Each structure stands twice: as C-alpha cells, then as structure tokens.
Amino acid sequence: MRIGVFGGSFDPVHIGHLVAAEYVREAFQLDRVLFVPAARPPHKENSPKATPGQRLKMLEAAVQSHLQFAVSDIEIRREGPSYTVDTLRELARSHQGAKLYFILGTDLLPDIQNWHDWRVALEIATFVGVLRSADPGRKPPPEIRDAVKQVAIPAIDVSSSLIRTRVAEGKSIRYLVPAPVADLIEQERLYRLADA
C-alpha cells in the first residue's frame, strides 16, 4: 500500500491543498492521502486561528467526497509540538508494510535539515515537494537532493492567509475552498475581523 501524508495547519484547508494532494496521488499512484492537521506546528510563529477541532472538521468536510482522501487526528491527539518524524513513526507502525510519501511545499525544502530528527524522517518516508508551475520553487540542499522527489502542479494563487483575510473583510471565498468548508466557516463564524 502507498500512503501520502500531507501535514500542515490547514487554517483553513483550500483548493490549493486539494489539488496538490491529487497531483501527488496520481504521480505516485497512491492508494490513500492522509491529511494530518497539526495541533501546534513547531515551525510556525503564530498559532492557527481556528481550533484543532475546527480545522479537523473542515478537513473532513473537504475530503468527504474523495474515496482516496482521508483525515488523521494523530497530531491533534499528541501532547506538545507536532514533529513530522513522530507522525511518520506512528503511521509506519500503524500501517505496517506501507510505503509512505510525505507531501510538502517546495518552500520548506531548504529548511529540512533544521527539523527534529530529519534524517530519520527521510528514512521512513519519501519526501515529495509540490512545485507550483509558475513558481521556480526551492531546491533541497545537495545532501538530501536525491532523497526528495518533486511534483509540478498548476499555479493556484490561494493561501490560508488569503482566505482568512477575505473572510475578515466580508468578501466571498466561493471557489477558493470547497463549499462544505465555506459553510463551516460561516456557521462557526471563523476568521471574523477580531480573529483574522
């Protein structure tokens, strides 16, 4: 079995995340892509605006119609910071014999060597950098270049911060996030001006 592991804050999940996951799924013929929202991302200065439970709920709504997409709450259940290596170890134990592919943006590649136990993480999973076609991307350091694969996706200029800003400004986020995610943002009054 081949499993993609897509971690992040997903605050909120948007179409760019879903397109990236689908392109990687096709490129590596993955049986499943697991979206893993971080409780407290160790590499981000600011905490997510939505709670872990709200981000989990939005992800579940976003992937509900895709048979190969699923959501895991393993990082939300874990105490303390969410380190990639711990998540990969846990997934390797719970999916014995599966080949893991860790999906990340190419903007994170130059920094991998600063991650907690990064060498172990690279042994557990194949790292796949998602390269937007209009973005030159960043290459991994020479020491790990052979260990990292890259997949080009269409340039989709959307980010979670853009979604939060548009909601705070009272603007539409239609077509930037799946409709069920937009509904949840509205129902739970997320990212309003005081929260953005």
Tokens of 58: 């939005």
Q: How far is 56 from 63, CA to CA, in rounded Å?
A: 11
Q: What is the mean pLDDT of residues 57-85?
A: 93
Instruction: Please choose, from the candidates 32, 34, 41, 33, the residue with its C-alpha nearest in 3D space to the C-alpha of residue 8.
Output: 41
Tokens of 118: 């990064």
Span 6-26, pLDDT tens digits: 999 999 999 999 999 999 999
Q: How far is CA 102 from CA 27, 33, 123, 147, 161, in A?
A: 13, 10, 11, 11, 23
Banded pLDDT at 196 (limits 50, 70, 90): very low
Superfamily of domain 2-156: HUPs (3.40.50.620)
Task: Tell me: pLDDT of 109 over 70.
Answer: yes
Please provide the distance, in angstroms rounded to a whole number, between the alpha carbons at the two ends of the chain: 40
Q: CB within 8 A of 180, min separation 6: which ones?
A: 61, 62, 64
Task: Tell me: pLDDT of 45 over 90.
Answer: no
> Is the CA virtual torsion 117, 121, 127, 130 positive or negative?
negative
Task: Tell me: pLDDT of 165 over 50.
Answer: yes
